[in-house]
Structure 1
Amino acid sequence: MEGTHTAPETLDFDGVTRLHITVTAGLADVGADLVERAVSAGVRRMTIVWGGYAGPTEQAMAESGAEWTRLEPQEFMSNALTWVDSVRADGVIREPFDLPSAVVHEADIGAVAATALVEDGHSGKVYNLTGPEALTTRERIAILGTALGRDLALERITRQQAIDRLLADGVSPQDAEYVIGWHSDPPVEARTVDDTVERVLGRPARTFAQWVKEYADRFSR
């Protein structure tokens, strides 16, 4: 049977004892039901990647009686994939801000989630997740350019242009305002390197240079 987390009634938790949830659009209204169904079926340990704040699903998990770990990653390194088309077209990346962000590799988020699900000692923990360095937009562009062997440039656009671009991609006005607002003034947690990934995994967090090496072919012309 196939199902989706935004329609909990379509999911079969028979035999499942551990569950990972990533908060996405459409989950807020049904997240509590998802957690209740899972726990009722025998799920005893859960991890969740938050949606930017502790919402209904995160609260339901904390009150479920099951073991839980909340992961609070800051900006994903994979956000750089939104630059693919402009890098291929003219080598100019258009962004409204040039502020430091301790971007985190999405594979490290997955590794922390897996560790918390299979190893003891993580129940009730809230993990802020970042990469090993805080990089400005220009610094990330420079790392990408070096890997590609190309000169890439940053062209600053206005806040409204950035919002309009998200709207054109189908993002809701509320979400567009939230995303651009976050990037205009990242919280201190997003600008400060946190060693949680290294402490949980027993190895250093992956760097942006490593991420670029893995995805360089996506940016090639």
Structure 2
Amino acid sequence: MTILVTGARGHVGAAVLNELVAAGAQVRASSRTPRADDFPQDVEVVQADLADPATLPQALAGVRKVFLYAHPETAPEFAAAARRAGVEHVVLLSSYTVMAPDAASNPIAARHLAVERALDEAGLTRTFVRPGYFATNSLRWQSIRHDRVLRTAFPEATTAPVHERDIAAVAARALLDDAGNAAYPVLGPGPVTIRDQVAAVAEAIGEPVRVEEVDVETYRTDLLTQLPAPLVEMLLQAGGSVRQLPAEVAVDAVPELLGRPALTFAEWARDHADDFR
């Protein structure tokens, strides 16, 4: 059984690939610009671009299962190509935003819902992995790497960071099991203030890191160098915090599915210490 991992050079895709290889699965890795030396020696490597449906038939040939990044613009074409290739199960990297009360008006949720619908309308067996706020978003804090400081207007704001290894472990479990249609929220262990996240990075690298509070306009200017303007405005309007799901739907799948607690931000910081050194 061959499993195709799309976006295999991304943070989550690479972690999924590693989980599958460790489990002894036969894996094919795809990327828009693949390089064989980016992957373990026994992993087949193919070129595929989700934005270019013409690249999909070759990548899907002989594949039974797929780990899929969301690309709404060509999701129907992917679903049709997967059906023609005889794919039996697609595990989609979706988003927890599709479960939020404002999903209908949330542009991030809209993109992921479009892919979820395309898979369902094609009649494919699918699993939706719906992670919360990626801990890897903190990799944009490169001022920590260069100056040992993080500048923010909202040091007490909170996010609930999710380790990519949790996302990957849930996705790999779905790919390796012969499960039917399912959806798994991956939400992390809970909210952590920005100040405490910086402290966790400082502990991981073994050096002090200063939190410097700046005015909102200075912070806006800095964020606009890293994020699209609509996301910046949403973040500022929320006082720097990332909204959590209502309690009735905010049930993390990791403890029940993997039999362990969700990984903490401190564990993520230790795993990524070299990115801040």
C-alpha separation between the residues in 2 aligned to 1:216 and 1:60? 39
Deviations 1:124-167 (A, max 9, x none): 32221122232111111111112223222222345554443344
Q: Which residue of 2 aligns with 1:21?
A: 68
- Which has the higher relative contact order, 1 or 2, with Cα contacts under 8 A spaced 6 or more apart? 1
1:188 to 236, 240, 244: 244
Tell me, in whole angstroms, the C-alpha distance in 2 between the residues paired with 1:32 and 1:10. Answer: 14
Percent identity reads 30
Check 1:71–1:167 CA distance in 2 against 1; reply closer, same or farther (3 A cut).
Answer: same
Q: Give the SS at the match of 2:160.
A: coil
68-77 or 1-10, which deviates more: 1-10
- CA shift digits 1:48-94 (9 cap, x unpaired): 112541432121112221211111111111122111x3113322112
The alpha-carbon deviation at position 178 of structure 1 amounts to: 5.0
Alignment correspondent of 1:43: 87
Once the two structures are superposed, the pairs formed by residues 123-162 of structure 1 within 5 Å of their partners are 123-162=180-219
Q: Distance in 2 between matches of 1:62 and 1:48?
A: 11
TM-score when scaled to structure 2? 0.68
Aligned to 1:7: 52
- Return the offset for 1:184: 3.7
Report what 1:68 is aligned to.
126
Residue 209 of structure 1 aligns to which amino acid in structure 2? A
Relative distance call for 1:183 and 1:14 in structure 2 (3 A) is farther
TM-score computed with the length of structure 1 as normaliser: 0.83
Which blocks of at least 5 consecutive residues in structure 2 are unaligned? Answer: 1-45, 96-107
1:128 is paired with a residue whose SS is: strand
- In 1, the alpha carbon distance for the partners of 2:243 and 2:231 equals 17
Which SS does the other structure have where 1:62 is aligned? helix
Determine if contact 2:145/2:275 at 8 Å carries over to the other structure. no
Residue 109 of structure 1 corresponds to: 167
> Deviations 1:107-140 (Å, cap 9, x if unpaired)?
111111111112134x332221122232111111
Per the TM alignment, residue 201 of structure 1 is displaced from its structure 2 partner at its CA by: 1.6
- The count of aligned residue pairs is 214
- Shift in CA distance, 161/135, structure 1 to aligned 2, threshold 3 Å: same
Residue 208 of structure 1: how far off its partner (Å):
1.5
2:129 aligns to what SS in structure 1? strand
Task: Select the residue among 27, 33, 38 that pairs with 2:77.
Answer: 33
Partner of 2:81, secondary structure, is helix
In angstroms, what is the RMSD of aligned CA positions?
A: 2.6
Cα contact 1:102–1:190 (8 A) shared by 2: no
Separation in structure 2 between the aligned mates of residue 158 and residue 36 of structure 1, nearest angstrom: 50
Using the alignment, how far apart are the partners of 2:219 and 2:115 within structure 1? 29
Counterpart CA distance in 2 for 1:216 and 1:135 is 18
Any gaps of 5 or more consecutive residues in structure 1?
Answer: none
Greater Cα shift, 95-104 or 53-62? 95-104
Question: Which is strand-richer, 1 or 2?
Answer: 2
SS, match of residue 116 in structure 2: helix
